[in-house]
Amino acid sequence: MREEELERLRAIVRDCVGRHEYASAMFYAGRVALATGDPTDIYMEAQALLLAGHHRRALHLLTSSPPLLRDLRFRCLAAKCLEELKEWHDCLTMLGEAKVDEDGNVISQKDSNMMNLDKESDDHEINILSAICLLRAKAYQALDNRDIAKQWFKAAVKADPMCYEAMECLVDNYMLTCEEEKKLLSSLNFRKEDQWLYAHYSCMISKHEKSSILEAKFRDLEEGTSGLSFSISPLNKSSKYNADLMACKAEYYYQCGEYQKCFDLTTAILEKDPFHLKCVLYYLVASVELDRPNDIYVMADSLVKNYPNKAVSWFSVGCYYYCIKKYSQARQHFSKATSIEGTYAPAWIATCNTYAAQQENDHALTAYRTTARLFPGCHLPMLYIGMESMRTRNFKLAEQYLLEAKKKCPSDPLVYNELGVVAYNMKDYEKAAQWLELALNHVSFPLSELWEPTLVNLGHSLRKLKRYHKAITYYEKALALSSRSLSAFAGLAYTYHLTDKFDEAISYYHQALWLKPDDQFCTDMLNFAIEENAQTRKEFL
């Protein structure tokens, strides 16, 4: 067969692959490989077989000539076949023995005879060593060796920062703490033209950063100042952010407690890309927080029909039952989601929350501990264990778990808030005030109604410390956020009462009782305030 004819057939193979006509690609690639016997053509045939779903046949072709496996490309493709066959031990054997340290640096590679014969692809493809590290990570993860898997995922993204899948696995599977994520990002070597990717990764790991800082990062990506603009069309301004970047922003809003913003953003992107599953996830959890069961039901119905084998589909059904307070049914569907995808963290955490919602303390604690072991970088299980321990009034244990949560994520204001509540209950009011002030300092956005209890608790702590003027300031801030806060009115009234400002105290007691007429504390203290005020006036006269 002439070289011109062979080149035409190779072009046809590439065209068939591009059109997803894998049977045709497999047929023509086989003819080319048979005619030339060239390793590159054999590799092309193996790729076509793999894409056509003939994993065992592709593996046999690659392993039938041992010298070919000295080429990293062939060995990597053979390992990919074994990945598709779920033969994880054989996959690791195919990739050869190697060791990696805790920082993701490969420190030994036993197969010194391995080489890469395709040098031309180095500049325009993801590094082959990165792809091999990624395969190792997936194999170890499938074998439940998550610590080693984490190290190989880090090795993959270090070998080539363009290996987005490795970075996504590390972040989405909560393999790293906040500090470890920052350390990894700072160690990556990006080319000058890839600074946009650095900015994107930075947005992925910035879950509790100040809104002004993160909005600037998103603005940089929008305007192209980080090296690449995401503007899709000058005629369609609403399409400026790509879906993945918008999903990062939605996650940020959710983590910061800005649930309405998260819902609005995900609703907007799902109108254009209705099956972007990461956006779907944050649409669902925001809907749960906003108590929108009808929206969840519609989404769940669509997902189960279109993606019955995806964890997020059954997670969405669980969210619906959770939202309508049918916790046992919710737990069944969350469990189905984890059986489909064992590393799907939202379903694991939601399963724990169903036990907590039913006040099944022992089951909840066991489930949270399991989740903490599976996702070592996630601080939420430790936070929730602390909250459960607080509910059973085991404040010392609660403090230990909350401090562990703080170590994993030192920027989450909710952790500081709970530490403040624990300290208050332990009657350490000085420490309580310090923790609660730290909580407010770590809030990313201007304070919303969500933080009214924190302001009230801080006011209580300062009142206990006899810092009445400062306590009054925080009670007033709480009322500015929520004009129907019984605790703020009662706290403000009692503080004025303690400073002998009886007129103000009586006024605020009345406002508190307007919200809850049968409140015993306010009723009793109002009577005392009226009597003391009358006595004071009598003495004055």
Write out pLDDT tens, residues 56-83: 999 999 998 888 888 999 999 999 999 9
- Looking at the chain, the whole-number percentage of residues with pLDDT higher than 90 is 77
Q: What is the C-alpha separation between 498 and 495, in angstroms, rounded?
A: 5
Question: How does pLDDT run across 302-343, given as a tens digit for each residue?
Answer: 999 999 999 999 999 999 999 999 999 999 999 999 999 999
User: What is the pLDDT averaged over residues 455-481?
Assistant: 96
User: What is the pLDDT averaged over residues 518-536?
Assistant: 92
Q: What is the C-alpha separation between 177 and 182, in angstroms, rounded?
A: 9
Indicate whether 226 pLDDT > 80.
Answer: no
pLDDT at 275: 92
pLDDT at 221: 75
The angle subtended at Cα 116 by Cα 114 and Cα 118, nearest 5°, is 160
Place of tokens 């403040």: 420
User: What is the pLDDT averaged over residues 149-167?
Assistant: 95
Print burial letters for 275-287: b (CB count within 10 Å at least 16), e (below 16). ebebbbbbbbbbb
Indicate whether 115 pLDDT > 60.
Answer: no
pLDDT at 205: 87
**Nearest CA to 374 among 391, 402, 352, 396?**
352
Q: What is the C-alpha separation between 484 and 489, in angstroms, rounded?
A: 8
CB 196 within 8 A of CB 226: yes
Q: What are the angstrom distances between the C-alpha of 496 and each of 348, 427, 455?
A: 47, 22, 17
pLDDT at 238: 41
pLDDT at 110: 60
Question: How does pLDDT run across 341-367, given as a tens digit for each residue?
Answer: 999 999 999 999 999 999 999 999 999
Indicate whether 227 pLDDT > 70.
Answer: no
pTM: 0.88
pLDDT at 113: 52
- Looking at the chain, the whole-number percentage of residues with pLDDT higher than 70 is 92
Q: What is the C-alpha separation between 179 and 175, in angstroms, rounded?
A: 12
pLDDT at 213: 77
pLDDT at 6: 94
User: What is the pLDDT averaged over residues 443-448?
Assistant: 87
**Nearest CA to 135 among 77, 178, 179?**
77
Indicate whether 437 pLDDT > 90.
Answer: yes
The angle subtended at Cα 289 by Cα 219 and Cα 322, nearest 5°, is 140
Q: Which residues pair with 100 in a beta bridge?
A: 106
Q: What is the C-alpha separation between 338 and 6, in angstroms, rounded?
A: 48
Question: How does pLDDT run across 184-214, given as a tens digit for each residue?
Answer: 999 999 988 888 899 899 988 887 777 777 7
Q: What are the angstrom distances between the C-alpha of 533 and each of 125, 463, 499, 527, 538?
A: 81, 21, 12, 10, 9
**Nearest CA to 176 among 344, 409, 370?**
409
pLDDT at 234: 32
Largest separation between any pair of C-alpha atoms in the chain: 120
Indicate whether 446 pLDDT > 80.
Answer: yes
**Cβ-based neighbour number of residue 270 at 10 Å:** 17
HSE at residue 38, side-chain half, CA atoms within 13 A, is: 14
pLDDT at 237: 41
Query: How far, rounded to the nearest angstrom, does the alpha carbon of residue 540 sit from its chain's CA centroid?
Result: 64
